[in-house]
Amino acid sequence: MSGQLQSGSVFAGFRIERLLGAGGMGEVYLAVDRDLPRLVALKVLNRIAATDDATRRRFLREADTVARLSHPNIITILSRGEEDDRLWIAMEYVDGPDLATQLQDGPLELERVAAITRSVALALDYAHDAGVLHRDVKPANILVGSDPGRRTLLTDFGIATSIHDERGLTETGHMLASLRYAAPERFHGAIAIDRTSDIYSLGCTVFEMLAGKPPFDATEPSRLMYSHVNETIPALSTVNPHVPAQLDAVIARAMAKDPHRRFATCTHLAQAVAAALAGRPVAVKPPPPPAANGVSAIFPGIDRAPRHRRAQTDSATSGPHRRPATPRNRRQLTIAALATLVVATGATVAAAISSDSDADGVAAPTTTTTKTSPTTTTLAAIPVAGCEIRRDHISASGTFPGGETSGMDAIFAFEYAYYVQRSGTAARRVVAHDATNISSAEDIQRGIDSTPKGTRYCVIIAFEGPSDAGTERWAVQLLHQSPGEKLIVFDQIITTRTTDGRTHLVSITEA
């Protein structure tokens, strides 16, 4: 458990007022500054996440990065430190929701969209000129103040990097991004990234502000990646009739598959958005459609149909950047430890793609037919390279068959049914009958059938604590590697419930 701080307590000299949000990596609190009579947002890394060196470095890098960026539209870092083995960052407090929370009520007014886009564009261009790529631009990382001026600030630079980092990879050789807003070049480690990747993400954000949903809103990570690389962006004017048709070309250019066909700067994008929304002429040449074979020509390594993970319905998204917990002692399993915090009630997806996959040429194991369902086969469980087989009362990793005796067992059983038994029916046996966002056995089976036999996997679980209605909350990291492909890491928050001695999954949300 993360050990949340209580209201009225003092931590590192800050008096805790209340919890603003919490998630797998830690919490964000409203606190009274230890030196001045003002309120601050105090981000605290929990003890489980703090055991991972890469997570600690990324957490501290956020403070270092933002501290050297002084701009009215970028959140201000006030101080940082460590108390009781827990890292913390004190930041400027913005009295108002993030943009993701506001978008739960639907699209924004056209004038507000233009104003928010301009503010974020100014912040991004300033960061870019200072040599910093944000790499995770999305509504949850944009704060909108409740003051009359509705000041807009860009936050959460936890996975920011130097603009000179040509491949955009983390120190472990993996790409981190929120998939709904990630530029297609982010999924191919051999392609250099630059400011145009942030421009693409800003284009996704503009689309969502006007449509009330992102341009690609599938819940399956593999489908999202495939859409960004291959599919045409939906026309905004057909989603929201109040949007001028000329804005379609603006979004299409901002989200061009080829980075060289996008706007040169975020400000250029913001100016085009403002002109289009105001009904003024905008001279924008739309990018060409995707290649005839459905695959962008600039991604030779992505040349096949998407691998469907599983179908889920959308969960609500709100709060600043969301990240799952990271179990203890992961060693090399710390493939996608994300440094920023989940700070409210929803979730987004993060993916990590290996730059040095070792699965090429791995032969699929011998298979035998099972009678679980007409299309399923039982395989030998093949964990990804380095999958640590271990378990204690609050965390575990491996490919255990699982069961129904605990939340941890139910999670293992679900994934074992998916990868080893290859049975949607078996997977649904550990799902509660009233689960609302986990697919039917038939839909799960469709995802299984599109997952190649011989796919390696590993499940990493950490207990987060009890939730409402007698459920338990678990941070889950699923490592997935199809034969001959690169490693992908899916981060999820899973809730379980035990009734009459049997435990079932209640919900699966992307983290």
Nearest to 446 by CA among 480, 482, 422, 429: 422
- Give the separation between CA 266 and CA 465, rounded to whole angstroms: 41
The residues carrying an active-site annotation are 136
Q: Which long-range contacts (CB under 8 A, 24 or more apart) does 185-190 make?
A: 185/259, 185/298, 185/299, 186/135, 187/225, 187/228, 187/229, 187/299, 187/302, 187/351, 187/353, 188/299, 188/301, 188/302, 189/353, 189/355, 189/486, 190/301
Residue at token pair 């730059």:
355
CB 285: neighbour CB atoms within 10 A?
9
Nearest to 480 by CA among 419, 396, 409, 391: 419
Structure tokens, 283:
């001279």
Contact criterion met (CB below 8 Å) for 183 and 192: no
- Give the separation between CA 51 and CA 140, rounded to whole angstroms: 26
- 371 annotated ligand binder: no
Indicate the DSSP class of residue 431: B
352, amino acid identity: A
Contact criterion met (CB below 8 Å) for 167 and 89: no
Q: Which residues are annotated as a binding site for ATP?
A: 43
